[in-house]
């Protein structure tokens, strides 16, 4: 019996295997070209979002008119200027932060609500399941955009316009909140159906047989087995959130003082940039949105493949 | 059950060139036939079965075929000959040699058992016959699967459809997964009849009903959905489906594995009866030695993608030569033997990406010798019809002769298949014809 | 009877059938699935009792009741002299769970694919608040893994289930059950998903563990030959009742119940039946009836080749046959063998299948080599 194994040995072993698993994952992921493209695009936009100052200078420079009205791209303004003479590239780069923050926070809200309700409903079953799902159905049938259009002014009225949280204006949180509560329902549905099937598997019965309570079973057994679904879903939610934000800003429900991509598009439309042939006004934010959404879709597909252990059969 | 006569059957014998071999076979037949596993059959000792020469059996069964042999077929060729089959799977980490040089022959009306642990390549072998392999599988050059002397390996997917189900059909293990849950059972049985034979809907459904009766399900239950049937019934329905186009060969892939013992006995009995009365040839894939013991004429024990031992069931099981077969037999809980005398085969089957050199069983073999670690044992055929690949049984010892794939193809099993004489009419042959 | 580790008395598990609309309208009484329908069973300390039956016999439900995964509807469970019938709730069951564990059938399903082996084996300790420090827990996990033959244990501890073979997984499952050092282990078909060669290793392991720890097993299986290899006593269940129970040798060698006899006769053996011997198989017709519609009288009578009038109306009690063997059959009498069972007689000829009108292959189905309608060779 080699029971003389010390705790340190074990810790080393644990880290060794963890490192191996991570390397394994990285190696498999590296084979997915679509996933790598997705990551590359995402890293680029994340860099823009995290350090916009490095690329184009602080936010103040974005709101300062430095050129003429609707100037086409030139060496001074690579992507031209808007109707107030502001640099479009500068605006787009700063827009990345706002759009991505909105996407990220909205996704977190959606996933937390959706996964919790889905797992609880799936595990508990019976009356709890039924009532939670009726509640979910209510949100599911509400048209997101209509609800958002109705909610944004309402909440703004209640909260007020001027507050700031972490340097981001409160109005943005209104948008985040609206996106969050309007899109969790489908997530909850998907997670619940998966939880229902996981619940029937023998390892859950075994957990009950050793005396594990419902909390532990949901946290340790159901959640890890629906996490693939959560990740794949989150990626799509993120893309959807950015689109929703764009839409809300575009129809004028955003925050005019925060240059998100949707806001820029909105402004370009107001000015009539498409009619004036000022493609440099709407193309950069539009292309950014398309690229970010695309990168998430690519990433989602690749992750789904790589994380799915059924495809990793060892013979 | 003992076969009638002393070897000269009612149809006489075909003395074309192999008279001496046939005489030798006769001796073996007399020896083996008296105790052949068919003894368990309910058909038993009746006049419907008679012992005749293998060629006569072949001709008789082929004469009862409901439709002509395929155009390119050689009417005198053995039913199925597999020569040096190599099926490999491509994985990220390399090629898995799931089947690596397997040869065997199956004659008309014969039942062959493919036995081995999971991962030994038995299912892959069977799927290679009908080329229903996953996308990452390749059948290597030099492999031959000859049905009536037609090599199926180079056939295109479209050409294979001519043979699948019509000549070779399958019964799968999980009947619930193999049946479509949202279609009625009889419709699913009728489907291949319509698709492959171009029969009208009404006639195909009528035939489906009769096939259900044939496997012991009342025809009216055909209008139910698979989930409404019990496990045993579903497996029967699967068998009916396999019989839909009157195939020459039915492959059963673990057909009784998930079933209760009593149901298992019922299904095996049914298969045995169908084989006898329809002149089918059976290939039974199983990890359960008892299934082959009860149903098959011959057994082929596979280990790590290769043939370990092959021969008449009674011979192989009563005096196994290969240490693997011995171990496998010893590991089987036998209600009629001494209890708690269970053998353990140490270790695990090898990784087929990188199989051990020499004999693939050598790391687990209790009788391992130095030669086993370096040299792949050749296949040696013994006079009693058993073929073994083991250095303990070299050519020359006990009259063993080294054989290669072509020899296996030419070798006719010493057992004569039971032949239906006036069994039921098969499609295309009855009064309507 | 002080040696009994666990005693089931009149145990019943009836699952009510939910009434559908039709039932409600027609005021039909709601039925119940009588999965377990009144069994008495005692397992002695250190004994291996095999509970044998086909699917639908109630053997698995019985096991689940013992480990408190399913609630009985009547009857009592006495464990080590204490009535545990009404012991429920996570906290109250803690002590009981430490002493009674279960091993499930499917090693692929029983292991959470997202949990390392270490986490799986350590979970019972964590859940039950034993060995609170990480180091102590890991130490015990290693010992448990070694005891089930997974050596070196530290190589296995942080792997995931998909990296292990079926046999190794089932060893992990056993380690997970053994880590609480239980006294009674309910093994529900622990080897039926595994290959023959791996099966015997695991059966050996189970026997070894019994030797070392004085374990008691309830071994649930559908395979009489496995029961015979492993068990001290065998209880045969049919449709929720025990129809025969006794020492393994006696039940196998001289069964007193027709059902047991039939089971023995069809029990798989790797030896081809010798001439004459093969004919002794008794293959029962049909399948086990639905447990919601249990036949009157002796529940086995519709399939019993020996059934007579009394069997249809009166249910036979479990009668002592001597030497510790009991059977529930009107024909069973102490010291007298059962009347010979009819073996598989020549069945009725197979029904005919009408030939299809045109057996010629359709051209569409055979694009490459359609056959001319030449007569067969």
Q: What is the DSSP string of A122-147?
A: HHH-HHHHHHHHHHHHHHHHS-HHHH
Within 13 Å of residue B311, how many CA atoms lie on the same side as its CB?
26
The pLDDT value recorded for residue A309 is: 53
Please determine, for residue A118, whether its predicted confidence score (pLDDT) is greater than 90: yes
Q: Which two tokens stand for residue A77?
A: 């303004």
A11 Cβ under 8 Å from any chain C Cβ: no
The pLDDT value recorded for residue B16 is: 37
Distance separating alpha carbons of residues B166 and C201, to the nearest angstrom? 43
B427 Cβ under 8 Å from any chain C Cβ: yes
Chain B residue with the nearest C-alpha to that of C168? B348
- B415 C-beta neighbours (distance < 10 Å), count: 27
Chain C residue with the nearest C-alpha to that of A16? C158
pLDDT, averaged across chain C: 82
Please determine, for residue C160, whether its predicted confidence score (pLDDT) is greater than 80: yes
**Among the partner residues C97, C151, C157, nearest to A210 by beta-carbon distance:** C97
**ipTM > 0.85, yes or no:** no
B354 Cβ under 8 Å from any chain A Cβ: no
Distance separating alpha carbons of residues A267 and A83, to the nearest angstrom? 9
What are the chain C neighbours of B196 within 8 Å (beta carbons)?
A: 361-362, 365
Q: Which residues of C88-119 are buried (b: 16+ CB within 10 A; e: fewer)?
A: eeeeebeebbbbbbbbbbbbbbbbbebbbbbb
Q: Do C128 and A1 touch (CB under 8 A)?
A: no
- A309 C-beta neighbours (distance < 10 Å), count: 13
User: Rounded to whole angstroms, what are the CA distances from A124 to A132, A198, A205, C113?
Assistant: 10, 12, 14, 22
In terms of average pLDDT, the best of A167-176, B169-178, B182-191, C234-243 is C234-243
What does the longest C-alpha to C-alpha distance in chain A come to? 83
The pLDDT value recorded for residue A67 is: 75
| Confidence band, pLDDT 50/70/90 cuts, at residue B69 | confident
Nearest-neighbour CA in chain A from B118: distance (Å) = 10
Nearest-neighbour CA in chain B from A178: distance (Å) = 41
**Phi, then psi, of B50 in degrees rounded to 5:** -140, 160
Q: Do B433 and C355 touch (CB under 8 A)?
A: yes
DSSP tag of C336 = B
Nearest-neighbour CA in chain A from B289: distance (Å) = 23
- A312 C-beta neighbours (distance < 10 Å), count: 15
Q: Which residues of A266-299 are buried (b: 16+ CB within 10 A; e: fewer)?
A: bbbbebebeeeebebbbbbbbebbeebbebbbbb
What does the longest C-alpha to C-alpha distance in chain B come to? 67
| Confidence band, pLDDT 50/70/90 cuts, at residue C191 | confident
The tens digit of pLDDT for each residue in B390-424 reads: 998 888 887 788 888 778 877 776 554 444 433 33
Nearest-neighbour CA in chain C from A204: distance (Å) = 8
Q: Beta B387-388 vs B306-312: how paired, if at all?
A: antiparallel
**Among the partner residues B159, B214, B314, nearest to C368 by beta-carbon distance:** B159
Q: Do B424 and C355 touch (CB under 8 A)?
A: no
Size of interface B-C (CB pairs under 8 A): 266
Q: Which two tokens stand for residue B35?
A: 């105790």
C115 Cβ under 8 Å from any chain A Cβ: yes
Please determine, for residue C198, whether its predicted confidence score (pLDDT) is greater than 80: yes
More confidently predicted of C255 and A84: C255
Q: Do C112 and A312 touch (CB under 8 A)?
A: no
Please determine, for residue B427, whether its predicted confidence score (pLDDT) is greater than 50: no
**Among the partner residues C97, C109, C180, nearest to A201 by beta-carbon distance:** C109
Give B 303-342 residues with CB within 8 A of chain A. none
Peptide bond into C152 cis (omega under 30): yes
Q: Which segments of chain A are extended strands (E)? A: 164-165, 168-169
Neighbour subunits, A (≥3 Cβ pairs < 8 A): B, C
**Among the partner residues A13, A210, A309, nearest to C124 by beta-carbon distance:** A210
What are the chain C neighbours of A306 within 8 Å (beta carbons)?
A: none
| Confidence band, pLDDT 50/70/90 cuts, at residue A92 | confident
Q: Which three-class secondary structure state does DSSP give residue C81?
A: coil
To test the contact with chain C by mutation, choose from B342, B345, B420, B421 the residue with the greatest count of C C-beta atoms within 10 A, namely B342
The tens digit of pLDDT for each residue in C50-97 reads: 999 988 888 999 999 999 988 899 999 999 888 988 888 878 888 888
**Among the partner residues A5, A211, A314, nearest to C154 by beta-carbon distance:** A5
B352 Cβ under 8 Å from any chain A Cβ: yes
A310 Cβ under 8 Å from any chain B Cβ: no
To test the contact with chain A by mutation, choose from C127, C149, C151 the residue with the greatest count of A C-beta atoms within 10 A, namely C127
- Could you tell me if B413 and B57 are in contact, meaning their C-beta atoms sit under 8 angstroms apart? no
To test the contact with chain A by mutation, choose from B89, B92, B117, B124 the residue with the greatest count of A C-beta atoms within 10 A, namely B92
The tens digit of pLDDT for each residue in B247-299 reads: 889 999 888 887 888 888 888 888 888 888 888 899 999 888 888 887 888 89
Chain A residue with the nearest C-alpha to that of B95? A315
Chain B residue with the nearest C-alpha to that of A27? B92
Of A107-111, A220-224, B327-331, the least confident: B327-331
pLDDT, averaged across chain B: 77
Cα distance from N-terminal residue to C-terminal residue, chain C: 75
Nearest residue to A117 (alpha-carbon basis) of A200, A208, A230: A230
Q: Do C377 and B328 touch (CB under 8 A)?
A: no
* Mean pLDDT of the A237-246 span: 82
What are the chain A neighbours of C139 within 8 Å (beta carbons)?
A: 3, 5
| Confidence band, pLDDT 50/70/90 cuts, at residue B3 | very low
The pLDDT value recorded for residue B50 is: 42
Give C 152-191 residues with CB within 8 A of chain A. 152-155, 157-160, 162-163, 173, 176, 180
DSSP states along C277-303? TGGG-----S-PPPTTSPPSSSTTGGG
Q: Do C268 and B288 touch (CB under 8 A)?
A: yes
What are the chain B neighbours of C229 within 8 Å (beta carbons)?
A: 333, 339-340, 342
The pLDDT value recorded for residue A168 is: 62
More confidently predicted of B40 and C26: C26
* Mean pLDDT of the B223-232 span: 85
The tens digit of pLDDT for each residue in A255-276 reads: 777 778 888 888 888 888 888 8
Residue at token pair 């209760």: B260
B120 Cβ under 8 Å from any chain A Cβ: no
Nearest-neighbour CA in chain B from A312: distance (Å) = 10
- Could you tell me if A180 and A269 are in contact, meaning their C-beta atoms sit under 8 angstroms apart? no
**Among the partner residues A2, A18, A309, nearest to C152 by beta-carbon distance:** A2
Nearest-neighbour CA in chain B from A171: distance (Å) = 51
Q: Which segments of C144-240 are extended strands (E)? A: 184-188, 216-221, 233-238
User: Rounded to whole angstroms, what are the CA distances from A77 to A48, A51, A89, B46, B245?
Assistant: 18, 20, 8, 100, 76
Distance separating alpha carbons of residues B12 and B84, to the nearest angstrom? 34
Residues 6+ apart with CB under 8 A from B4: B47, B49, B50, B51
Is B4 buried (19+), middle (13-18) or exposed (0-12) by CB count in 10 A? middle
Q: Do C154 and A9 touch (CB under 8 A)?
A: yes
What are the chain A neighbours of C160 within 8 Å (beta carbons)?
A: 21, 309
C279 Cβ under 8 Å from any chain B Cβ: yes
User: Rounded to whole angstroms, what are the CA distances from B56 to B60, B121, B429, C266?
Assistant: 6, 33, 19, 34
B404 Cβ under 8 Å from any chain C Cβ: no
Neighbour subunits, C (≥3 Cβ pairs < 8 A): A, B
More confidently predicted of B365 and A156: B365
The pLDDT value recorded for residue C50 is: 94
A23 Cβ under 8 Å from any chain C Cβ: no
Nearest-neighbour CA in chain A from B355: distance (Å) = 13
What are the chain B neighbours of A315 within 8 Å (beta carbons)?
A: 89, 91, 96, 98, 119, 352-353
To test the contact with chain B by mutation, choose from C355, C363, C373 the residue with the greatest count of B C-beta atoms within 10 A, namely C355
Of B82-86, B299-303, C112-116, the least confident: C112-116
A134 Cβ under 8 Å from any chain B Cβ: no
* CA C129 to the chain's CA centroid: 32
Nearest residue to B279 (alpha-carbon basis) of B104, B88, B48, B23: B48
More confidently predicted of B47 and A137: A137
* Mean pLDDT of the C91-109 span: 87
Q: Do B210 and C353 touch (CB under 8 A)?
A: yes
């Amino acid at each position: 019996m080699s029971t003389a194994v010390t705790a340190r040995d074990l810790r080393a072993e644990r880290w060794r295997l963890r490192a191996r698993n991570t390397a394994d994952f990285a190696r498999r992921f590296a084979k997915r070209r679509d996933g790598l493209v997705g990551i590359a695009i995402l890293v680029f936009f994340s860099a823009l979002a995290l350090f916009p100052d490095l690329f184009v200078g602080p936010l103040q420079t974005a709101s300062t008119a430095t050129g003429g009205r609707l100037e086409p791209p030139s060496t001074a303004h690579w992507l031209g200027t808007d109707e107030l003479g502001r640099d479009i590239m500068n605006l787009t780069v700063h827009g990345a932060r706002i759009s991505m923050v909105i996407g990220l926070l909205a996704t977190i809200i959606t996933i937390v609500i959706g996964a919790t309700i889905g797992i609880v409903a799936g595990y508990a079953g019976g009356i709890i399941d039924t009532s939670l799902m009726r509640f979910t159905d209510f949100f599911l049938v509400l048209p997101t955009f209509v609800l958002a259009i109705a909610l944004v002014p309402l909440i703004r009225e209640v909260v007020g316009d001027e507050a700031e949280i972490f340097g981001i204006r409160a109005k943005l949180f209104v948008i985040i909140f609206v996106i969050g509560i309007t899109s969790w329902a489908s997530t909850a549905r998907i997670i619940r159906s998966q939880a229902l099937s996981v619940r029937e598997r023998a390892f859950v019965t075994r957990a009950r047989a050793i005396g594990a309570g419902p909390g532990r079973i949901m946290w340790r057994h159901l959640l890890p087995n629906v996490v693939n679904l959560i990740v794949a879903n989150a990626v799509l939610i993120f893309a959807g959130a950015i689109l929703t934000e764009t839409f809300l800003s575009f129809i004028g429900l955003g925050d005019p003082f925060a240059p998100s991509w949707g806001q820029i598009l909105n402004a370009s439309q107001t000015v009539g940039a498409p009619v004036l042939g000022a493609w440099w006004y709407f193309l950069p934010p539009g292309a950014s949105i398309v690229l970010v959404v695309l990168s998430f879709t690519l990433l989602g597909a690749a992750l789904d493949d790589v994380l799915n252990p059924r495809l990793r059969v060892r013979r | 059950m003992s076969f009638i006569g002393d070897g000269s059957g009612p149809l006489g014998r075909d003395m074309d060139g192999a008279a001496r071999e046939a005489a030798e076979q006769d001796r073996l037949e007399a020896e083996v036939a008296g105790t052949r596993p068919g003894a368990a059959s309910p058909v038993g000792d009746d006049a419907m079965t008679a012992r005749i020469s293998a060629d006569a059996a072949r001709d008789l069964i082929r004469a009862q075929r409901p439709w002509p042999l395929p155009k390119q077929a050689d009417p005198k060729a053995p039913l199925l000959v597999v020569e040096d089959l190599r099926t490999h799977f491509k994985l990220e980490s390399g090629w898995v040699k799931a089947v690596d040089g397997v040869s065997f022959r199956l004659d008309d009306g014969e039942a062959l058992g493919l036995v081995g642990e999971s991962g030994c390549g038995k299912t892959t072998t069977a799927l290679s016959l009908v080329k229903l392999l996953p996308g990452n599988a390749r059948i290597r050059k030099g492999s031959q699967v000859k049905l009536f002397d037609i090599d199926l390996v180079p056939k295109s997917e479209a050409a294979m459809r001519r043979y699948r189900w019509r000549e070779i059909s399958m019964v799968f293990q999980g009947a619930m997964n193999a049946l479509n849950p949202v279609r009625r059972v009889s419709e699913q049985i009728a489907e291949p009849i319509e698709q492959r034979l171009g029969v009208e809907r009404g006639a195909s459904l009528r035939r489906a009903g009769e096939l259900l009766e044939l496997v012991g399900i009342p025809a009216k239950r055909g209008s139910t959905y698979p989930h409404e049937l019990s496990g045993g019934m579903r497996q029967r329905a699967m068998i009916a489906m396999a019989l839909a186009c009157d195939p020459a060969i039915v492959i059963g892939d673990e057909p009784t594995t998930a079933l209760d013992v009593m149901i298992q006995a019922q299904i095996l009995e049914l298969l045995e009866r169908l084989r006898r009365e329809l002149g089918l040839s059976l290939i039974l894939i199983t990890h359960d030695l008892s299934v082959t013991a009860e149903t098959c004429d011959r057994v082929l024990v596979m280990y790590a993608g290769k043939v370990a031992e092959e021969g008449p069931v009674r011979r192989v099981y009563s005096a196994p030569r290969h240490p693997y077969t011995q171990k496998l037999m010893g590991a089987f809980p036998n209600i009629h033997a001494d209890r708690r005398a269970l053998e353990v085969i140490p270790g695990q089957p090898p990784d087929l990406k990188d199989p051990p050199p020499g004999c693939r069983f050598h790391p687990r073999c209790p009788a391992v010798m130095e030669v086993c670690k370096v040299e792949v044992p050749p296949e040696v055929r013994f006079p009693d019809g058993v073929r073994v690949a083991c250095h303990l049984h070299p050519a020359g010892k006990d009259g063993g002769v080294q054989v290669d794939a072509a020899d296996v193809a030419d070798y006719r099993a010493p057992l004569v298949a039971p032949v239906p004489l006036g069994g039921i009419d098969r499609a295309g042959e009855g009064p309507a014809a | 009877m002080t040696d009994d580790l666990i005693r089931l008395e009149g145990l019943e598990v009836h699952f009510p059938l939910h009434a559908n609309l039709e039932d409600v309208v027609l005021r039909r009484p709601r039925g119940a699935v009588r999965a377990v329908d009144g069994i008495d069973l005692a397992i002695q300390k250190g004994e291996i009792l095999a509970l044998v039956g086909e699917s639908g016999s109630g053997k698995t439900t019985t096991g689940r009741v013992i480990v408190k995964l399913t609630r009985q509807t009547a009857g009592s469970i006495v464990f080590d002299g204490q009535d545990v019938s009404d012991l429920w709730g996570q906290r109250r069951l803690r002590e009981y769970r430490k002493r009674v564990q279960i091993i499930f059938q499917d090693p692929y399903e029983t292991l959470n694919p997202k949990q390392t082996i270490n986490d799986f084996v350590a979970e019972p300790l964590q859940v039950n608040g034993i060995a609170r420090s990480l180091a102590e827990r890991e130490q015990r996990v290693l010992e448990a893994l070694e005891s089930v033959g997974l050596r070196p244990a530290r190589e296995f501890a942080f792997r995931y289930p998909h990296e292990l073979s079926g046999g190794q997984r089932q060893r992990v499952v056993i380690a997970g059950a053994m880590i609480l050092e239980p006294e009674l282990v309910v093994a529900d078909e622990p080897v039926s998903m595994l290959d023959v060669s791996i099966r015997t290793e695991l059966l050996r392991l189970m026997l070894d563990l019994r030797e070392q720890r004085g374990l008691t097993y309830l071994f649930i299986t559908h395979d009489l030959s496995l029961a015979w290899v492993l068990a001290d006593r065998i209880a045969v269940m049919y449709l929720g009742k025990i129809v025969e129970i006794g020492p393994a040798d006696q039940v196998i060698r001289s069964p007193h119940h027709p059902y047991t006899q039939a089971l023995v006769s069809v029990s798989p053996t790797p030896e081809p039946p010798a001439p004459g011997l093969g004919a002794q198989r008794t293959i029962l017709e049909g399948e086990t009836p639905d447990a919601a519609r249990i036949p009157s009288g002796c529940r086995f009578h519709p399939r019993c080749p020996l059934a007579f009038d009394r069997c249809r109306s009166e249910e036979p009690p479990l009668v002592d046959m001597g030497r510790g063997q009991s059977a529930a059959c009107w024909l069973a009498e102490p010291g007298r063998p059962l009347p010979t069972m009819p073996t598989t007689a020549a069945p009725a000829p197979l029904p005919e299948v009408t030939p299809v009108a045109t057996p010629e292959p359709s051209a569409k189905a055979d694009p490459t080599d359609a056959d001319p309608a030449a007569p067969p060779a």
